[in-house]
């Protein structure tokens, strides 16, 4: 699965991918304050993107719900990856 990285001048970085169902989903990480927005759209118009702003604690809870923290905190893992 390809993840598209798009620099957003004056804002930060957008990382997006397309699901098997054709939904585009990603995260915009803002330079100022590290705020993150969950972004998604399922139409042909990229301007129809919707977003949900997440605080740090909310992003951690979402990662937990998706199972990411299970992988990162697994004691059998050879390398732990710190969030950026």
Q: Please report the pLDDT score of residue 34 as a whole number.
A: 78
Query: In angstroms, how far is CA 83 from the centroid of its own chain?
Result: 11
| More confident position, 60 or 45 | 60
Q: Is 57 helix (H, G, I), strand (E, B) or coil?
A: helix
pLDDT above 70: percentage of residues in the chain: 80
In angstroms, the CA 23 to CA 46 distance is 11
Q: Please report the pLDDT score of residue 57 as a whole number.
A: 84
Q: Please report the pLDDT score of residue 80 as a whole number.
A: 44
Split at pLDDT 50, 70, 90, the class of 28 is: very high
In this prediction the pTM is 0.68
């Amino acid at each position: 699965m390809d993840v598209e990285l798009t620099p957003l001048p004056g804002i930060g970085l957008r990382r997006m991918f397309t699901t098997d169902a054709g939904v585009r989903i990603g995260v915009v990480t803002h330079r100022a304050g590290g705020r993150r927005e969950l972004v998604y759209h399922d139409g042909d118009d990229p301007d129809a993107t919707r977003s949900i702003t997440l605080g740090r604690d909310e992003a951690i809870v979402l990662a937990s719900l998706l199972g990411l923290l299970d992988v990162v905190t697994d004691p059998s893992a050879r390398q732990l990856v710190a969030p950026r």
